[in-house]
Amino acid sequence: MKPLHNRFRLVTLLLIGLLLLAGLYGVYSVTVYGNRWISSSRNLRYREAKNEVIAGDIIDRNGVVLATTDEDGGRVYQEDQEAREAVVHVIGDRDGNVANGVDSFQAGYLLGFEATLPERILALLQGEQRRGDNVTLTVDSMLNTVIVRAFNTHVRTQEKSGAAVVLNYKTGELISLVSIPVFDPVNITDAVKEDTRHPFWNRAVQSTLPPGSTFKIITASSALENLEDIEEREFTCTGATEVMGTIIRDYGNAQHGKLKLPKAFRVSCNNTFAQLALMLGDTALRTTAESFGFNENFLFRDIVVENSVYPTENRTLVEIAWSGDGQSQIAATPLHMCMVAAAIANEGVMMEPRLLYRVESSGGLVRLRLTPREYRRAVSVDVAATIKSYMLDTVARGTATAAQVDGLSIAGKTGSAESSLDGRDVTHAWFVGFIDDSRYPYAVCVFVEEGSSGGGAAAPIAQAIFRYIQAYFPFQ
């Protein structure tokens, strides 16, 4: 009997352990995936609440109401068409065409799922229809409008697509998030639905693309971390580096002659960075990329972001060399590349991107206030300082001079990323950078699909963003 008793006790302990694990996983899942479950179209409670609860308002950081609910329960946006188009990818639309907009992803607050039992009982006793919470965002909606205008000024938005992100590198606050082309959420025509540029797609957080030379921030960081006296080494750029029969060339077939790492970064020399990647080896370069968040499963609290990729297969010497230039199969979203620049600005520390500034019930109860959270340390303080000096030099007299603004100390890196689109070879334009000033702790990423030159297409848009920040920030 004793062996049988021991077995029963062992089984009981095992079951208790499994129940505890299930409970802990449940708590973890609600914490991490709660918004994703609540906003799912398969969630019956979500669909019922949309019909029974007066959805709360969505407000920008300056008090501008971006979305509210009318007497008939319909969602109402700003009167000005330009203004509502500029924030459509942040907010979403009535029909849910934009994936994970605030209106759906923050349904837990907006539809009152977070209301306490006393609040629900009081509403029931008063015979009132329950109201959801009001959500105030970190976004400056006017800056979104300025960015859309800048795209219209500097690129033909009837033909091209793109994205822009502005991030506070000290707190992680998302000040702006724009995807081009925009559309009017109250007038979704057949032309919008049939547009081959896919206007419902939020390129800022969903498009994973080769970052091109903006990735040289990571390659240079890896070189400083792993290669002794690398800043003193002299490279030779003849305009062509042969690797296993493949020729790696610089943009515009440029030849830079003899140069060291700081100049190679400033002029964005593909040959030098391909040679650096081969010197580092794939493991070291990938390790640094992963310290910046590549190959990470992004599970941010306020926003859904596609994962960025540093490839782990088919790693020939050719692929490794091209990886140093941000090519091969490397892919990242504009938001993530903005976080990369922000980490350099913030002494190597990458902050979690935050979109919720405050959540408040209709009765004035504050349920949530912005709480900045460090996401990870990407590089050491010393490496970040060195890369920052390179980026300052790049804007001062390198490939990113078009981002300069009088009175601001701007650091940046351009990129021209070779890719394919609908079976065609194309070159996308990138700019990532930041203001090196504690009064204006903002990082910027601009991406222009088929923009060709980062310095020609993306940097001027970044300049317009920096000018707006200079004129209207800091926030009080």
- Give the CATH number for residue 463: 3.40.710.10
**Residue 244 forms part of a structural domain:** yes
344 has pLDDT over 90? yes
- Sequence-ordered alpha helix ranges (H) in 39-61: 44-52
Q: How far, in Å, are 169, 291, 340 from residue 216 at the CA level? A: 20, 14, 11
Q: Which of 19-28, 165-174, 179-188, 192-201 has the lowest mean pLDDT?
A: 19-28
Mean pLDDT computed over 188-204: 92
The reply to whether 140 falls in a domain is: no
Taking residues 112-121, what's their average pLDDT?
77
Write the CB contacts of 50 (distance below 8 Å, at least 6 apart in sequence): 107, 111
Query: For residue 284, what are the domain limits?
Result: 212-355+374-472
Radius of gyration of the chain from Cα atoms? 25
Q: How far is the first Cα of the chain from the last one, in angstroms, to the nearest whole number?
A: 75
pLDDT given for residue 363 in this prediction: 84
Q: Which residues pair with 345 in a beta bridge?
A: none
pLDDT tens digit sequence for 410-426: 999 999 988 777 778 88
Peptide bond into 181 cis (omega under 30): yes
CB 405 within 8 A of CB 473: no
pLDDT tens, residue by residue, 47-94: 555 667 889 999 999 999 999 998 888 899 999 999 999 999 999 998
* Residue of higher predicted confidence among 53 and 454: 454
Q: Is residue 219 part of a domain?
A: yes
pLDDT at 9: 63
Q: Is the pLDDT of residue 235 over 60?
A: yes
pLDDT band at 250 (very low <50, low <70, confident <90, very high): confident
Alpha-carbon distance of 161 to 159, in angstroms, equals 7
Residue 171 falls within a domain, yes or no? no
pLDDT of the residue at 62: 96
3-state secondary structure of 442: strand
* Peptide linkage before 474 cis (omega within 30 of 0): yes
In a domain, 232, yes or no: yes
Q: Is 253 helix (H, G, I), strand (E, B) or coil?
A: helix
Reported residue count of the chain is 476
- Say if CB 246 and CB 271 are below 8 A apart: no
Confirm whether 150 is domain-assigned: no
Residue 115 CB coordination number (10 Å): 22
Tell me the pairing of strands 257-259 and 410-421.
unpaired
What is each CA distance from 204 to 162, 200, 458, in whole angstroms? 8, 12, 14
What proportion of the chain, given as a percentage, has pLDDT over 70? Answer: 87
Q: Give CA angle at 280 (401, 378), nearest 5°.
A: 60
Q: Which residue has the tokens 């859904």?
A: 304
Helix or strand holding residue 217 (H, E): helix 216-226
For the chain, what is the domain count? 1
pLDDT of residue 355: 98
The model's pTM is: 0.89
Region of poorest pLDDT, from 26-35, 81-90, 279-288: 26-35
Q: Quick one: pLDDT at residue 423?
A: 72
**Is the Cβ–Cβ distance between 335 and 307 less than 8 Å?**
no
Q: Which residues contact 5 (CB under 8 A, 6 or more apart)?
A: none
Give the amino acid at 308. Answer: S
- Classify residue 316: in a domain, yes or no: yes
Quick one: 338 exposed, middle or buried, by C-beta within 10 A (0-12, 13-18, 19+)? Answer: buried
Q: Establish if 26 belongs to a structural domain.
A: no
Cβ contact 437:462 at 8 Å: no
